[in-house]
Amino acid sequence: MDSNLSQFKSVSPRPKVIIFTSILHLAVLLVFLPHTFSWSAVGVAVFLHWITIGLGISFGFHRLAAHRSLQTPKWLEYFLILCGTLALQGGVLGWVGYHRLHHLYSDRQGDPHNSNQGFWWSHINWLMHSVPMRTELSRFTKDIANDSFYRFCHRYYVELQIALAVILYFLGGWSFVIWGIFVRLFVGLHSTMFVNSACHMLGYRTHDSQDQSTNCWWVALLTFGEGWHNNHHAFQYSARHGLQWWEIDMTWITIRLLQFLRLATNVKTIDQK
């Protein structure tokens, strides 16, 4: 058995995830085909990266659903969860459950992407294996498991991605599909995974968070503020991750704007839980 898997009594490959990941990485190579590049297609990819990773994963899945660091009207919460679902990083219930497990056992046995098992494991290899803690996920998502919209997004996240691809095709042809789906998913997946890997190995530490989390500026840029990971582990409840003036946190700026518009309430910070 791979030494990186030695913390687990039993693991087994997840063929569907391995196949999907392989196809995605191969599909990105389509950008080298003639006539697939256009600045409008790049613009679509950048815009959808912000929608799915910035609003969806960072804001919706992470700070809102996983940590309940603030409250929003239900219609806005559901919109953010839909945006995160379009990042194609698995169903929302699994994403939230794994993340809560990560905080409970951070960098210890039981952490799904324990960084002590090496960069490759913590970055993406953990996704490709059915590790024992998968059976625990339902215990960590009871607050959202019975919500019909969450269940819908969790069940149909692949179908929703296909629907988006069809829309992009009719808007701009294969160029929009290649950049707006394949390239955007590739960048979004690895950007998020760098939080699990690079942000437990590289960067600086401001707080003693009882784990190996770090603050990494370039991951923060890719993920709209998620790279200030040591700050987040020290103050898990806080909706604000970038705590110094130079720690740019675009998701926090978005939350502040929604506060001004009275669409974000009960916002938790390090000064007030």
Q: How confident is the model at residue 272 (pLDDT cuts 50, 70, 90)?
A: low
Residues 6+ apart with CB under 8 A from 43: none
Type and span of the H or E element at 259: helix 250-260
Beta bridge partners of 228: 215
Least trusted range by pLDDT, from 11-20, 76-85, 239-248:
11-20
> Does 43 score more than 90 pLDDT?
yes
Residues 6+ apart with CB under 8 A from 154: 85, 91, 92, 93, 94
- Count how many residues are written for the chain: 273
Fill in the amino acid letter for 169: Y
User: Coil, helix or strand for 135?
Assistant: helix
pLDDT in tens, 251-264: 999 999 999 999 99
Q: How confident is the model at residue 41 (pLDDT cuts 50, 70, 90)?
A: very high
Beta bridge partners of 129: 13
Q: What is the mean pLDDT of the chain?
A: 92
Burial of residue 18 (CB within 10 Å: 0-12, 13-18, 19+) is middle
Residues 6+ apart with CB under 8 A from 157: 85, 86, 88, 90, 91, 92
CB 122 within 8 A of CB 196: yes
Burial of residue 148 (CB within 10 Å: 0-12, 13-18, 19+) is exposed
Dist. CA 31–CA 197, nearest whole Å: 27
DSSP letter (8 states) at residue 269 = B
The CA-based diameter of the chain, rounded to the nearest angstrom, is 54
The pLDDT of residue 1: 37
Tell me if the pTM is above 0.95. no
pLDDT in tens, 181-219: 999 999 999 999 999 999 999 999 999 999 999 999 999
The pLDDT of residue 175: 96
